[in-house]
Amino acid sequence: MGVLEGSVALVTGAGGGIGAATVAALLAEGAEVIATDLRAPSAGTLTCAHDVTSEADWARIAGEIEARWGRLDCLVNNAAIATISAIEENSLADWRRQMTVNVDSLLLSLQATLPLLRASGKVRAGGASVVNLSSTGGLAGAAFMSAYCTSKGAVTLFTKSAAIEFGVLGYNIRVNAMHPGGIGTAMLDEIFDAYVRLGVATDKDVVIQGMNKSHPIGRLGKPEEIAAGIVHLCSTASSFMTGSSMVVDGGYTAQ
Ligand SMILES: NC(=O)c1ccc[n+]([C@@H]2O[C@H](COP(=O)([O-])OP(=O)(O)OC[C@H]3O[C@@H](n4cnc5c(N)ncnc54)[C@H](O)[C@@H]3O)[C@@H](O)[C@H]2O)c1
């Protein structure tokens, strides 16, 4: 029997690298998974098109979960974009888009799903569990990623604030942040391309070698290695964790 048997989970950005691996891991542990992305993903108990910046989309998704399950046990706020730019060249429009997708979406997410999470908190051992995808960038910062790192720093403190507030309110909802290091997905591939475009490195192999070196384990991570941490945060095995930052980064140190 899986550790999430009988649990109902929602994963956003579920068509991407870490999102798809998370859906697979949650399903393998017995959860029923609502998988959403800009285009409906291919795997999940229920798959939906869902723009996380849209209040109307959140209301629709929450309505579907309410009608079918009446509660939400695990919420994984994973969808995000990464803007790569020198500070001098970052347009205000791009900066705002970065914050809208990565930060505003968390407010919309919790506002839409709170009644469902509270319903879970009343009955679920270990409480309902929210996992917000931050990044090592949300703890340490990085060159040419000021917008992204600022957004992930906001995710980190929104997570802690929500954990404290839900504790004060007695909701029995835990809220934790996951901080991956460099993980081999489309997002990281685009970041590598951008580094070459910006002239930070001569070619992509140089970027990849540098990234491997900055992870003492000697390689980039795999989406499944992040999904395994998310499963732990979603399960009752992490029942004493809230407001926490789980760092899964191969020992990453900025070079
Ligand atoms: N890959 C890494 O190295 C890395 C490192 C640290 C943190 N992260 C974080 O992990 C999470 C997943 O990243 P990934 O590497 O799997 O990226 P990815 O690009 O493979 O997946 C991101 C997904 O988010 C979706 N998305 C983007 N905007 C959206 C919107 N407005 N509404 C709904 N969905 C939207 C995309 O369609 C995509 O499927 C992100 O929060 C990212 O910031 C990734």
Q: What is the pLDDT of residue 173?
A: 98
Query: What does pLDDT average to over the chain?
Result: 97
Q: Is 171 a catalytic residue?
A: no
Ligand 1 proximity of 38 Cβ (cutoff 6 Å): yes
Q: Do the strands 46-49 and 74-77 form a parallel or antiparallel pair, or are they unpaired?
A: unpaired
Ligand 1 proximity of 138 Cβ (cutoff 6 Å): no
CA of 69 to the centre of ligand 1 (A): 26
Percent of the chain residues past pLDDT 70, beyond the cut: 100
Question: Residue 41: is its pLDDT beyond 80?
Answer: yes
Q: Considering only CA atoms, which residue is closest to atom 28 of ligand 1?
A: 80
Query: Among residues 74, 80, 53, 85, which one has the least CA distance to residue 152?
Result: 80
Atom of ligand 1 nearest to the CA of 77: 41
- Tell me the per-residue pLDDT of 158-191, one tens digit each, with 9 for 90 and over: 999 999 999 999 999 999 999 999 999 999 999 9
Ligand 1 proximity of 51 Cβ (cutoff 6 Å): yes
Question: Residue 150: is its pLDDT beyond 70?
Answer: yes
Atom of ligand 1 nearest to the CA of 190: 19
H/E stretch holding 176: strand 173-180
Which CATH number is 126's domain given? 3.40.50.720
Ligand 1 proximity of 21 Cβ (cutoff 6 Å): no
Q: What is the pLDDT of residue 200?
A: 85
- With cut-offs at 50, 70 and 90, classify the pLDDT of residue 254: confident
Buried/exposed code over 142-166 (b: 16+ C-beta within 10 A; e: otherwise): bebbbbbbbbbbbbbebbbebbeeb
Long-range CB contacts for residues 148-154, cutoff 8 Å, separation at least 24: 148/82, 148/83, 148/84, 148/98, 148/102, 150/98, 150/99, 151/80, 151/98, 151/99, 151/102, 151/103, 152/102, 154/99, 154/102, 154/103
Q: What is the pLDDT of residue 201?
A: 87
User: Coil, helix or strand for 11?
Assistant: strand
Residue 119 domain-assigned (yes or no): yes
Q: Considering only CA atoms, which residue is closest to atom 42 of ligand 1?
A: 80
- Tell me the per-residue pLDDT of 44-89, one tens digit each, with 9 for 90 and over: 999 999 999 999 999 999 999 999 999 999 999 999 999 999 999 9
Ligand 1 proximity of 140 Cβ (cutoff 6 Å): no
- With cut-offs at 50, 70 and 90, classify the pLDDT of residue 16: very high
Q: Considering only CA atoms, which residue is closest to atom 11 of ligand 1?
A: 78
CA of 184 to the centre of ligand 1 (A): 12
Is the overall model pTM greater than 0.85, yes or no? yes
Residue 251 domain-assigned (yes or no): no
Ligand 1 proximity of 17 Cβ (cutoff 6 Å): yes
Number of domains in the chain: 1
Q: Which residue among 23, 185, 233, 248 has the greatest number of ligand 1 atoms within 8 angstroms of its CB, and so is best to mutate? A: 185
Residue 1 domain-assigned (yes or no): no
Residue 228 burial class via C-beta count within 10 angstroms: exposed 0-12, middle 13-18, buried 19 and up? middle
Identified catalytic residue from 148, 171, 195, 252: 148
Q: Note down the domain range covering 63.
A: 8-246
CA angle centred on 103, ends 167 and 96, rounded to 5°: 155
User: What single DSSP character describes residue 247?
Assistant: E
User: Coil, helix or strand for 14?
Assistant: coil
Sign of the Cα pseudo-torsion (199, 204, 207, 209, in order)? negative
Residues 159 and 175: beta-carbon distance below 8 Å: yes
Question: Residue 255: is its pLDDT beyond 70?
Answer: no
Ligand 1 proximity of 248 Cβ (cutoff 6 Å): no
- Per DSSP (E only), the strands in 70-127 are 74-77
